[in-house]
Structure 1
Amino acid sequence: MYSEDQTDPPRDEAHFWQMMKDNFEEAKFILSLPLQTREEALSGDEHEVHEPASCLFIPYRASSEGNDQREYFYDLGNAQIPRLERLFRERQLNLDFVQAWGVLMCALGHTLNFVMDGSKLLETERAAAASARKRSLIDQRRWLAHILLPHADGHAKRDRAEEFAVEQIERLIEQKGVGGFPPEWFAALLADKRNKAGKKSHLKTSFQQRKFSVKEMKKLVQAGADGLPPTQNLFT
């Protein structure tokens, strides 16, 4: 959190308050990040565990209930912010400030442990959850193979094929489904766009090139389309 110049002794009182305010703003940013839930940590798509540098949430780390206290310290730190905002405005370096600052730094340190922790405690559970999701979406996978395969030969073509598929899926959702299949059936193919205002829709990771090969698609297409929504003339 601290850069070297922030650990040097302040030059004067004005410099001291500026250093403290800079540190305060960094602490506020960390404590403004949402807490990742267990369900999000296991999802494997929008909420995969990120490297700290790109982290946009406080990761869930599967600590035991007695050792976790992530939410407690997160709330404790946030509770000090209005108090310190007032003291910064008043530039009151008094016992109230020292006590509130100490609590904030303690809470921040505990929270940063979750952000910086690169352990993979959920890896086995995440793999099992991903496998279960894949099985539960096998019909969507079969249907998508019929949509993608004619356009997916080659990397550049695959990108365009996925864009084409997303366009078709969004149109089917907008028209409330097709062939007796509700819009939710098709929506399950798309990644969640929470906290990403304006971001274009895209396929879930499990349906993208890295996890859905042309070889697998060919096998699924060869198995036929019985029990699936229409794969041609979708909007006629």
Structure 2
Amino acid sequence: MAKGIVYVMSTVVNGLVKIGKTQTGQFSNRMNSLERNGYFNVVGLKREFAIEVEDYDEKEILLDDIFSKSRIENSELFAVDLNLIIQLLSSFEGRQVYPVTETKEQVFDKVTEEREKKDYYKIPDGIYFLETKNKQFGLIKATMEVQDGKFIIKKGSNCLPVTEGYCPSKRNEAITKDNVLQNDIICDSPSIAAFIARGKNTNGWTIWKNASGKPIDTYRKNNE
């Protein structure tokens, strides 16, 4: 099985990336050449992620097939989200070649978070609801207000004790009385808001619902 490098580069054009491959020993020269000279009349190329994998020819073909509808004809340029490409490449088995200051896991987590942040703005401003049952505390209810990509769990919501080792720092802002929140808390994600209500890790995309009872994940899927 041939081993080589599959890479992605950003360009001066926002939303336009180059996906390519090269032999391991040629990576530095290839990157320097593209960054200096551009590609297909596009300049400002910058290396973003590269990984050494087995069957690199086949893996590049796979990427070409996946993003064929976004491909600029007769080129290796694609009009796709850079973070999506990095997320996919960093999930491959192989040795990360670039960046050298972060692990594959760190890169994957970072781009996943960045992609999710973009999805936050797909959720319309308004009020959303959480309702679930707990064996010890019974029916749990909470209200969340969305304002311009921020998630505010409202005073009067249930706020259960933390039952797991991990605890987001926002939970420390909670003032409670009889497991009821006494103050609004501005959260950076719907999952953190859900954690404050339930006291444990929770997928906020599925548990927060609109007035019609549909999960907020509906807004993300409708905009894909």
TM-score (norm 2): 0.24
Greater share of helix: 1
| Structure having greater relative contact order (Cα 8 Å, sep ≥ 6) | 1
> Which structure shows the bigger proportion of residues in strand conformation?
2
Larger radius of gyration: 1
Q: TM-score, normalised by structure 1?
A: 0.23
